[in-house]
Amino acid sequence: MAINNKQSRALPIYIVNGPNLNLLGTREPEIYGRATLGEIEKLCAARAASHGLTIVFLQSNKEGEMVEFLQEARTAARGVIINAAGYTHTSVAILDSLQMIKQPVIEVHLSNPAAREDFRRHSYVSRAAKGVIAGLGQDSYLLAIDAIANLTAAKPRKSPAVKKKKRARA
Ligand code: DQA
């Protein structure tokens, strides 16, 4: 069953990582940086905590397992941050899963795929993403957490005094 905004605000941000990101730190550090995925997870948890939020940080090398994480996120997440890694450029199945998520989805990349090989220029994930943050290394994840926090913040209710003033002026 779909969840409403108020219910999802109490939930963690799901951060879903795709294939080969488990090898960060040693994987092409000149492109992806020296931080390990575990280090990025700790930074993300701290950034989320600074907004009073929590995270569920996931990684899989298997497309089907990522689909299962995303199906779970439909009812268990406040919003989703996804670095689908190589599947960004190939996976209709991951796009289909993302399109069923009503909460905000932010696509992130450590590198800037648009500035690399041609085959990295197309992203299936982008079709379902509210926004894309790429090329800023681990900061791409941290800025995506700020974005989810802003996008899902409870909107302050207008006080009756403000409403009255507006009506009087009209
Ligand atoms: C990546 C970019 C993808 O093109 C690549 O396949 C990855 C990592 C990034 O974070 O820069 O595995 O998503």
CATH code for position 58: 3.40.50.9100
Number of H helices, E strands in the chain: 7, 5
**Is 166 domain-assigned?**
no
Within 6 A (CB) of ligand 1 lie: 20, 83, 85-86, 88, 109-111, 113, 120
User: Does residue 78 lie within any of the structural domains?
Assistant: yes
Would 72 be classed as within a structural domain? yes
- Is the pLDDT score of 63 beyond 90? yes
Reading the block at residue 85, the tokens are 């890694």
Q: Is 4 among the domain residues?
A: no
Record the tokens describing residue 116, joined without a space.
């690399």
Whether the predicted pLDDT of 24 surpasses 90: yes
Q: Is the pLDDT of residue 156 over 60?
A: yes
Give residue 166's pLDDT band: very low, low, confident or very high (50, 70, 90).
Answer: low
Q: Which of 32, 87, 124, 141 is catalytic?
A: 32
Residue 100's domain comprises 10-151
145 Cα–ligand 1 center, Å: 19
- Alpha carbons 168 and 75: distance in angstroms, whole number: 43
Q: Which residue has a Cα nearest atom 6 of ligand 1?
A: 86
| Bigger pLDDT: 65 vs 167 | 65
Question: Of 159 and 28, which is predicted with more confidence?
Answer: 28
pLDDT tens by residue, 91-119:
999 999 999 999 999 999 999 999 999 99
For residue 48, being part of any structural domain is answered with: yes
Q: Coil, helix or strand for 79?
A: strand
Q: Is 105 among the domain residues? A: yes
Catalytic status, residue 51 = no
Does residue 170 form part of some domain?
Answer: no
pLDDT at 93: 98
Q: How confident is the model at residue 164 (pLDDT cuts 50, 70, 90)?
A: low
Domain count, the chain: 1
Indicate if the pLDDT at residue 33 is higher than 60. yes
Ligand 1: residue whose CA is nearest its atom 1: 85
- Give the closest residue (by CA) to ligand 1 atom 12: 85
Give the nearest ligand 1 atom to 83 CA.
13
Question: What percentage of the chain exceeds 90 in pLDDT?
Answer: 84
Catalytic site includes residue 109:
yes
Domain-located, residue 59 = yes
pLDDT at 79: 98
